[in-house]
Amino acid sequence: MRGVEMCGRYALYGPASRIREQFDLDDGFDFEPRYNIAPTMKALVVHPGQHGERVASTYRWGLVPSWAKDVTIGARLINARSETVAEKPAFRAAFRRWRCIVPANGFYEWKAVPDAGRTVKQPYFIRPKDASDLFGFAGLTERWVSPAGDEVHTCCIITTDANPVLMPIHDRMPVILRASDYGAWLDPDNADVRGLRALLRPAVDDGMIAYKVCRAVNSSRGDSSTFVEAV
């Protein structure tokens, strides 16, 4: 799994009251606990509302730039590298104008391990040490309009170098914003590219833990609370 972006799987099971509190949301939002969110599925994102307030909406995971011919490109744009997000044509407009936060209780990563004479992918779940806390991944959004006039709202997650917790498992991780940086990241009038890029750093390692979980999560078709339990 080395040399690729984050595996592309995470969990958001709330509770809704905690999501609302941590991300300072006033209005209600659609939410159901999900333990195995995969690319092209619906993802809850926090973004600026019309009047500057924070709102939460469900967007399709996999960014589709406004200039794309069709939505299939989104399956390849689930992540944006922090090192190049401000310059890459697929991401640079969204980085300057349509930033979001993707709430998560934790995310999965895989490590190749020997097992009975063969190599298997062992999943790990990475979450805050305080199980009541949430991660806020730095993300981007886009609005794509089909030839028929249908709107599709999409998102992606920005990645960075792994911190010491992740290094034994994978060399990349999602950018986890500090709560004190939520305002600067979400501010649509914030055009300070250098300052925004400075927020895209590896998270401090003392606030998170990683542990092995069941291999049933290897399939994107399953969804169970047991997926986030240590084995």
Q: Which of left, alpha, beta for 166 (phi over 0: left; psi -120 to 50: alpha)?
A: alpha
Angle subtended at Cα 81 by Cα 127 and Cα 97, rounded to the nearest 5 degrees: 100
Decide if 210 contacts 228 (C-beta within 8 A). Answer: no
Q: Which of 5, 7, 100, 142 is catalytic?
A: 7
Query: What tokens were used for 72?
Result: 């299939």
Query: What tokens were used for 176?
Result: 């986890």
Q: What is the DSSP letter of 116?
A: T
7 is catalytic: yes
Name which of 54, 46, 1, 32 is nearest 157 in CA terms. 46
Q: Which of 32, 53, 83, 109 is catalytic?
A: 109
**Contacts from 184-193 at CB under 8 Å and sequence distance 24+?**
185/99, 185/101, 185/138, 186/46, 186/47, 186/48, 186/54, 186/99, 186/100, 186/101, 187/48, 188/48, 188/97, 188/98, 188/99, 191/96, 193/86, 193/95, 193/96
Decide if 124 contacts 111 (C-beta within 8 A). Answer: yes
Host H or E run for residue 169: none
Q: Catalytic positions, please?
A: 7, 109
